[in-house]
Amino acid sequence: MKCSCLHLLSLVCLLISAPEVKSKPPNIVLILADDLGYGDLGCFGQKVLKTPQLDTMAKEGMKLTQFYAGSTVCAPSRSVLLTGKHMGRTVVRGNSSLPIIIKPGQPTIASMLKKAGYKTACIGKWGVGTPDNFTNPNDVGFDHFYGYVNMWHAHNCYPEFLIRNGKVEHLKNEVAAKWKRWQDPKLPQSGRGVAVKKVEFAPDLFADDALRFIRENHKDPFFLYFAMNIPHANNEAGNKGMEVPDLGKFANKDWPEPEKGFAAMIRHIDRDTGRILDLLKELNIAEDTLVLFTSDNGPHQEGGHKADFFNSNGKFRGIKRDLYEGGICVPTIAWWPKTIKPESMDDHQWYFGDVMATTAEIAGVEPPRDIDSESFLQTLRGKDPKKKWSRKNSLYWEFYERGSAQAVRFGKWKAIRSPMFTGTISLYDLTLDPSETQNLANSQPAIVKQARDLLDKSHTPDPNWETPQQRAKRDR
């Protein structure tokens, strides 16, 4: 009896003194489509095109119905996503050929998660401006990068080269002679063009590389940023810019050729998202992985595609390059088996900048200071009663093209001012008027004043980003 007690006591002491075994933090997969509209997915109301994999993802997970992109065009939207700072403060605020980039030392989701022990990868379209080097993604936190560094290079789904961890990797494609001058890596728009020899379809290469990264790193916590470059058009190809390997079942449709190509791109997006989810299940890590699917801005009208052909902006007004809902409210799905309740829906107001605080909470680390970011993790876990929560910060956007504009969302109100700083403010009640058809500015002077104050204080001046009016005044 005495020996048994001593044995039990020794066992208790051993357990007490044993080092604490920390559980592996969840994996994070962020899938970003390029120019996908709110109405392009079946689960968000698309009536013609079929998206069975994404519809299943939504059925098994959560639809976020008021989730906003960082901007209405790609480069600044991705800058907001990666830095957690809204358009009034992020480093890249527009599409520009100048080498304005996220620099080493500036915190990103990737650098934050890398410090937390995650393996990190960006595969596809970097597109955060036009870096003057090919190592920019690696320099700001990604262990692995494969894809396009330059945003204009990403227009071409059949490029002559891609970048793998800072080095040029040649493909079997060939662009027309007129585009050869853009193949010089020293040029800010390097790689753009239209292929005359189409062998290797970049979106397929990206999907294969994403699956490889998951297989090779699934025993460690990993962060995969899978940044597709479709359904964006190849603008350089004019009305033949919806380039795909084949049209498949859409070939015989009585549709314009660009719309057949657009439909095929949606099929590719759906298929490749399904391949990733299937692999997570195969590796038995689905329950340990959050997958977030979204788009960098609203639907485009380029490459011969018309946004209204498939009703790509759904119930909203506006498309890409607009600050109306159609340009910035994007279809978003969160999937995390056993954590997210199946067939759930959330109508809180979230945006790209919130991904920083959310992934920090998932990883169990403090997010960088001085960001515009609120975590939606508890919402994903179903532990965020609507009556007890409201955003601490308003949502804010800027746009420097087409004369410039600003927008702010605060509660049920949305205000747009164009041009920035000096223009007239339009005001909409999105709870009653999500299509932004009724400007209530004249009947709500107090709310307009509140909106003006928010628009003014949300902008931090940056010498790299000026409105046309500011530029003209400076040049006089």
CA dist 50 to 42, 172, 266, Å? Answer: 6, 32, 8
Q: How far apart are the first and last CA of the chain?
A: 97
Q: How many CB atoms lie within 10 A of CB 394?
A: 20
Residue 246 has pLDDT above 60, yes or no: yes
77-105 average pLDDT score: 95
- Tokens 């299943």 sit on residue: 56
Choose between 470 and 68: higher pLDDT: 68
Contact yes or no for 427/408 (Cβ under 8 A): no
pTM: 0.94
The pLDDT value recorded for residue 18 is 47
CATH fold for domain 27-388: Alkaline Phosphatase, subunit A (3.40.720)
Q: Which CATH class is domain 400-475?
A: alpha beta
Domain positions in the chain are 27-388, 400-475
3-state secondary structure 61-104: CEEECCEECCCCCHHHHHHHHHHCCCCCCCCCCCCCCCCCCCCC
Contact yes or no for 434/315 (Cβ under 8 A): yes
Query: Minimal CA–CA distance to 346: which of 381, 394, 388?
Result: 381
Contact yes or no for 315/60 (Cβ under 8 A): no
Read off the pLDDT of residues 166-196 as tens digits, 9 standing for 90 and up.
Answer: 999 999 999 999 998 877 766 666 788 999 9
Contact yes or no for 315/54 (Cβ under 8 A): no
Cα angle 342, 347, 352; round to 5: 95
CA dist 368 to 77, 83, 106, 391, 429, Å? Answer: 19, 9, 10, 19, 33
Read off the pLDDT of residues 96-149 as tens digits, 9 standing for 90 and up.
Answer: 888 899 999 999 999 999 999 999 999 999 999 888 889 999 999 999 999 999
Residue 43 has pLDDT above 90, yes or no: yes
